[in-house]
Structure 1
Amino acid sequence: MTLAAAPLPVHDAAVIGAGPSGLTAAILLARRGLKTVLIAPAINATDGRTTALLQASVALLDEIGVWPALAPKAAALAHMRLIDDTGRLIRAPEITFDASELKLEAFGYNVLNRELNVVLEQAALAEPGLTWVKERVQAVEPAEDRVTIRLETGDTVTARLAVGADGRQSRVRAAAGIEVRQWSYPQHALVLNLEHDRPHQSISTEFHTPTGPFTLVPLPGRMSSLVCVVSPETAQHLLSYTDEALALELERRAHSILGRFRLASSRQVFPLSGMIAHQVAARRCALVGEAAHVFPPIGAQGLNLGLRDVADLGSILQAALARGDDIGSPQTLARYEAARKVDISTRTTAVDLLNRSLLSDLLPVQAARSLGLYAAGRIGPLRRLLMREGITPMAGRPKIFAGLAR
């Protein structure tokens, strides 16, 4: 008697995690022809934080059909202003980057996370090629020809590939045996939204202070989101303020450039840290977003980097499917690893160096930062190169974003 071969997995890809990266990945893979299952209990519909979606991310969201619903809820970032407020001996000149210099209406658009999550949820529920299993994952078990995902209900889901979009404590990453490098900073970020008397005129302003950036990013109307990076002690001190006292203190730190402030959301404080996975793919598992990399909220790079992961993964899996290749094979995963390696490492390093340069009292470090910003303000080709790289780096740029390279 011969034993029957085990049946192949029902799904091509199982995406675990329903943050913006996971939802986008699930929708994109389904649209690229893969039988896809999304496994996550629910979205976060109460997150008051915001995300600045740069043009490359907007292009991806437009491809999966969600940008038209998001656009009315977003504020354009047409100008990016950097102000050295360190008070140190060597200070950089103020510089403003203008999207029109790249023939763009805006570098990107700022949107509330809860608005982004809700629109993505609606698109995921309406996507015919996508199944959403609203359960928690208990275990991820990679094998030679499939990945088995065990749910807390006792049920199982099998797929040829597991996509880990399950955050910095990723079960998928752990199951794949992928190790990480982690580090922390002596900083906390105070995050909230503000109403203000003066219009922001689509200008995102980042003050560089001795404790880190103080960033005001436009929201629709006379509102902006704030990320204020300070010492842990100062963060706790600011949390103790009344709303009126905190608004006045934040207005002082912003030098009243937007007039009087009023708090428009609750306050949140997060310790700043960094993490980078040694690999983004192994054992029929691929990582996207914060399962693969985490760094401080500087320069609107976090989710945008994660969406570039998603775009690359979608292109590589679609090509593998068209060739009849195994989408979870070592060869397919090696292509994804190669596509993401340079982008992730260079972007993580750049954000880390910029953040540490603000904390350094060393004159050579201050001089180098100041000289770099001075050159960017005076040398047009360099300024335009920096703007293009800020939107999407040339290294490892996904094909969907190729038009933004020009």
Structure 2
Amino acid sequence: MPKTKQTKVYDIAVVGGGPSGRIAALSFAKSGFSTVLVASAGSGQDGRTTALWQKSISLLEEIGVWPQIKENAAQLRKMRMIDDTGRLIRAPEVVFDSAELDLEEFGFNILNSNLNAVLEDFCGSAKNLTLVDGTVAKVDFHPESAVLHAAAGETIEARLVVAADGRNSLVREAACIEVRHWSYPQAALVVNLEHGLPHHNISTEFHTPSGPFTLVPLPGRQSSLVCVESVEGATRLMEMKDPLLERELERRAHSILGSFKLASKVQSFPLSGLSATRLIAGRVALIGETAHVFPPIGAQGLNLSLRDIADLDNVLSKAALRQQDIGGHEVLKTYEANRKNDVRSRTQAVDLLNRSLLTGFLPVQLARGAGMYLAGKVGPFRRLLMREGMAPGSGFTLNR
């Protein structure tokens, strides 16, 4: 693995070894920026999955990693939404079909462990990309550059730092960027399942009084499950023996995929949100969960992060062609302006959907039911929702 030199000033230093950090580093390096990635090697134990929409796949194709990722991913051709709240006002079932948009699929679902393994391999051999294995202990920001002090003692200087070090970001704190936190009275139970019946590449989301219960296809007769429950309910599920839990999850899924068998360790995460008050500061730009965190609903998290990366790379590439300072305020404020609406709209949409399931307030039930009815019965509205779900703005520009 190449070592950094104190005398070299990189164009970009990316901090963070998750998918966002590694994809950002590969993207910047592909665009010709001398890039250093400061990240710890992954453990390979992440049993969660990620659904990638078409715009995210386009970015992965551009940096050359998609063919290897696709090998272990499952197509998502249809998305089925079912009101399982049992309340007085119930929304009709809605099926979103990618064929209605002349697409073979909306996207693909993949195990995070497989995704991370491919990204780590590519980072190890990419041109213009230097790896520093470890974490950052301190960051000093100067007028012309930023200096990263790695925990292992190495010093890295760069014209721009891209912070992808997560919700507890040291880089964000060093840049004095404040965040807004909020929480929900819920937890997400996450597990992968083997099932007796084929999923036919259909993702099914049951809307329940405690939150979404979502089954997303994996290769073969497997699916990933995200079950949003009350904190007490999630604790009860976590305490169940495997056979009892399998039967309970099959019951909640109304046996649409037959019998269940656990295919991974069951994990539980409290639901919360985070939003940075700014996306930029002197010599630093935030991407991914360093900038925004919301519940795992609608598969928006990583896809939003990859749009951060694509927009930032585009802004920096144009600035480089104009021989502008890529870490300067004038350049970075363009990135922030480009991202604000997308980040705000996705955060609000996920928050609204989640809270609408928790409330028994009749007008809210009526509004949610009306929206689902229109989605099911009005083709142009349904197609707009499908396009907007995959990429912001496309629903208004690609109408059929």
Question: What TM-score range do you get, normalising by the shorter chain?
Answer: over 0.9
Give matches, 1:19-38, under 5 Å.
19-38=18-37
Match of 1:93 in 2: 92
Match of 2:199 in 1: 200
Cα deviation 1:143-168 (Å, max 9, x = unaligned): 11100101112221000000000000
Cα deviation 1:118-167 (Å, max 9, x = unaligned): 00111111101100011221011111110010111222100000000000
Aligned-partner Cα distance in 1 for 2:280–2:19: 20
3-state SS in 2 of match to 1:48? coil
Aligned-partner Cα distance in 2 for 1:126–1:318: 22
Contact 1:77 1:108 in 2 (8 A): yes
3-state SS in 2 of match to 1:61? helix
Give matches, 1:152-171, under 5 Å.
152-171=151-170
Match of 2:347 in 1: 348
Cα deviation 1:292-334 (Å, max 9, x = unaligned): 0000000000010001001101111111111111000000110
Aligned-partner Cα distance in 2 for 1:148–1:366: 52
Q: Report how many residues are paired.
A: 395
Tell me by how many angstroms 1:85 deviates: 0.2
Partner letter of residue 222 of structure 1? R
Partner letter of residue 208 of structure 1? H
Match of 1:179 in 2: 178
Instruction: Label 1:183 to 1:235 Cα distance change in 2 as closer, same or farther (>3 A).
Output: same
Aligned-partner Cα distance in 1 for 2:256–2:153: 56
Contact 1:11 1:36 in 2 (8 A): yes
Aligned-partner Cα distance in 2 for 1:155–1:61: 30
Contact 1:9 1:146 in 2 (8 A): no
Q: Aligned pair 1:393/2:392, yes or no?
A: yes
Contact 1:44 1:117 in 2 (8 A): no
3-state SS in 1 of match to 2:37? strand
Tell me by how many angstroms 1:43 deviates: 2.2
3-state SS in 1 of match to 2:127? coil
Identity of aligned residues (%): 59
Cα deviation 1:272-301 (Å, max 9, x = unaligned): 001111111111100110000000000000
Match of 2:273 in 1: 274
3-state SS in 2 of match to 1:73? coil
Instruction: Label 1:192 to 1:338 Cα distance change in 2 as closer, same or farther (>3 A).
Output: same
Match of 1:125 in 2: 124
Aligned-partner Cα distance in 1 for 2:397–2:348: 25
Aligned-partner Cα distance in 2 for 1:8–1:290: 31
Contact 1:187 1:232 in 2 (8 A): yes
Aligned-partner Cα distance in 2 for 1:33–1:198: 48
Runs of 4+ deviating beyond 4 Å: 402-406
Aligned-partner Cα distance in 2 for 1:286–1:135: 20
Aligned-partner Cα distance in 2 for 1:384–1:256: 29
Match of 1:382 in 2: 381
3-state SS in 1 of match to 2:383? helix
Match of 1:70 in 2: 69
Aligned-partner Cα distance in 2 for 1:366–1:262: 34
TM-score norm. by structure 1 comes to 0.95
Q: CA RMSD in A?
A: 1.6
Match of 1:114 in 2: 113
Aligned-partner Cα distance in 1 for 2:341–2:170: 24
Contact 1:14 1:36 in 2 (8 A): yes
Q: Aligned pair 1:332/2:326, yes or no?
A: no
Partner letter of residue 299 of structure 1? G
3-state SS in 1 of match to 2:71? helix
Q: Tell me, which stretches of 5 or more residues in structure 2 are unaligned?
A: 1-5
